[in-house]
Every structure is written in structure tokens, then in C-alpha cells.
Amino acid sequence: MRILVLGAGGTGAYFGARLIQAGHSVSFLVRPARAALLRRDGLRVNSAKGPFAAPVDIVTDVPPGGVFDLVILSCKAYDLDAAIAAVAPAIGPATRILPLLNGLRHLDVLDLAFGRERVWGGVCHISVALQDDGSVTHLGQLERLTFGSRQPDARIDALAPALLPVPADVRHSGNILDVMWEKFVFLATLAGMTCLMRASVGQIVATPDGEALMRRCYRECREVAARLGHPVAEAAVAEGEAILTTAGSPLKASMLRDLDRGGRTECEHILGDLLARAHRVGLELPLLAAACTRLRIGEAGSLAAAAA
């Protein structure tokens, strides 16, 4: 299978490497600076699940006639418009697009650009970090990628069997929107609370009211999913609550790291979008609204400082 991966940061590099190991023809579409580094040093992934180090096919533009079977998007939500323009020449009638962005708002944008029939749903659960030397480090053991079509699609029947043998936890879901909602509400809670409190999960739950506030925020977010037809399963709720209330946990959302360094965040794509969906069905989410306001203020300050 011919696969184009947009981005070779943490997620794109990790799953792109595993796809190569499974025998697929993988090209990475990256910016010139990243391309120069990868051409010089190859793609390097350090993981307890098995390292990867090899030269890989790097492009900074889709070559003429370069239509692919599958295009994987691993960019940040705020780079989506640029990503769409970059991959457009790679999209043919039979091409399928697998976005691994957080949240749900990107689906409408991609549907408008390429047609709903070409856009699958996707979720990844992995902690990876791009190092200063250009290598990628996989943190922990979790390396799950779940994909599925959002409507009947013969192409998924043709392509899925080739994706499942990849040496990672790759899953094909017949209810991909439920899976995406499950992560959406969990991530909104984690990002909202750690950014609002400017603290880790462990620091929050160590306070007298911290655990109760964390559970309340998670309940707020889940209520939106349930109202819109995607209730989170009890087992997933139990797992999510356990992670969000673990004593001493150093866990923080990457959004908090972005906020602390004065960078752009995915606030609007995750917190803002969930709030908008809640308001459309008459729900109020006071904790998430407070967190979203905190992030908006912080991001506005960073933009003002950068412009000064």
C-alpha cells in the first residue's frame, strides 16, 4: 500500500515507522528544515516496543502524479488548513484520509475539502516526544491507533487487512465516532483542568476539593457526548476517572506545556468546540467554560507579546 504521512513529529514518525516495518511504501511530507534533518540522519524512533532507525522517503511537496492509497494527517489542529493544501495533490478517487487529530471539528473541514466518503475517523493513544536531535522518543507502553469509516465504504474492507498486521496496537472500529467522542471528552477534561489549575493531576487531586472538581468536569463533558448520541461506556468512564484522579500523578495535558511556553494551543479545537456543541443542546459546562476562558486569555497574551 502507498501511504503518505503528513508530518514526522512524534505521532507521524512513530506510526509511519511501524507501517514501514509492515512492508508498506511510506512517504513523509514535511517542512524543509525537518526534511533536511531526516535526509541527513534518517528517521529514528526510540521505543521499548522496539527501535527504528533507517533512511525513509521524504518529500516537501507531493510529486506530480503522486496519488496515494492512504493519507495520514498527524498535524496540530491549527495547521489543518495548511495540511489540506499540502496533501490535496495526493488525493485521488480511491484515496482515503485518516486524520489523527484530537477532537472532532476537523472532520467537517476535511469533509468539505475532500468529500465525506474519503474521510475516515481516527484516534491514537500514545505519548511521544520529538527530541532536539530530531529523534522521536516513545514514552511508556501505550501505542494504540484506532481507525474506521464513518459510513459504508468498500475501500476500508480492502485496506484494513493491510493495516492490522502493523507491529503496534492497531484496531479497526465499526463505531469510530464513539471512540473519538470517548477520547474527546477525556482530553477536554484533562486539558481543561490542568490548564485551569496550571498543575498536574497529582497536584490537583492532592487538594481538598481537587478530586471532586476533576470528576465534575469529566461528568460535564460526558453529558455532552451522551446528549449527542455517543455515551461513554462504563468501562471507559472507570478507566478515565482512574487516570484523572491518580494520587501523585505527574500527568499534564500537552496543551498546558504549549500554554506555559507561550505557544499556540488547540483550545478552540477541543475546549471551544465542546462548549459550542454543549450550548447548541442547551447544556452549561461551567468548569470547562472557566478553563477555556483561562486558555483564551493566556493565548491572547502570548500573541500580544509576540507582536510587541
In the chain, what are the domain boundaries?
2-174, 179-307
In one-letter notation, the amino acid at residue 295 is L
What is the CATH architecture assignment of 2-174?
A: 3-Layer(aba) Sandwich (3.40)
Q: pLDDT-derived band of residue 14, with 50, 70 and 90 as boundaries?
A: very high
DSSP E strand boundaries for the chain? 2-6, 25-29, 43-46, 52-54, 57-59, 70-73, 96-99, 121-130, 136-148, 169-172
DSSP element (H, E) containing 226: helix 210-227
In one-letter notation, the amino acid at residue 4 is L
In tens, the pLDDT along 166-218 reads: 999 999 999 999 999 999 999 999 999 999 999 999 999 999 999 999 999 99
Taking alpha carbons only, the member of 61, 60, 67 closest to residue 25 is: 67
Q: Does residue 135 surpass a pLDDT of 90?
A: yes
Tell me the CATH number of domain 179-307, given options 3.30.565.60, 3.40.50.2300, 1.10.1040.10, 3.40.50.2020: 1.10.1040.10
Q: pLDDT-derived band of residue 257, with 50, 70 and 90 as boundaries?
A: confident
Residues 6+ apart with CB under 8 A from 159: 1, 69, 70, 96
- Residues with a catalytic annotation lie at 183
DSSP element (H, E) containing 251: none
pLDDT of res. 204 = 98
Q: pLDDT-derived band of residue 139, with 50, 70 and 90 as boundaries?
A: confident
Q: pLDDT-derived band of residue 308, with 50, 70 and 90 as boundaries?
A: low
Sign of CA pseudo-dihedral 123, 262, 13, 85: positive
Average pLDDT over residues 46-63: 94
In one-letter notation, the amino acid at residue 167 is P
Residue given cell 481543561 in the structure block: 192
CB contact at 8 A, 27 and 55: no
Average pLDDT over residues 145-161: 95
Q: How far is CA 31 from the centre of its chain?
A: 19
Average pLDDT over residues 88-94: 95
Mean pLDDT score across all residues of the chain: 94
Q: Does residue 279 surpass a pLDDT of 90?
A: yes
DSSP, collapsed to helix, strand or coil, labels residue 161 as helix
CB contact at 8 A, 156 and 148: yes
Q: How far is CA 306 from the centre of its chain?
A: 26
CB contact at 8 A, 15 and 124: yes
Q: pTM score, two decimals?
A: 0.93
Distance (Å, rounded) from C-alpha 59 to C-alpha 155?
26
The Cβ of residue 150 has, within 10 Å, a number of other Cβ atoms equal to 16
Q: Does residue 226 surpass a pLDDT of 70?
A: yes
The proportion of the chain whose per-residue pLDDT surpasses 90, expressed as a percent, equals 87
Residue given cell 505521532 in the structure block: 11
Average pLDDT over residues 52-80: 93
The proportion of the chain whose per-residue pLDDT surpasses 70, expressed as a percent, equals 99
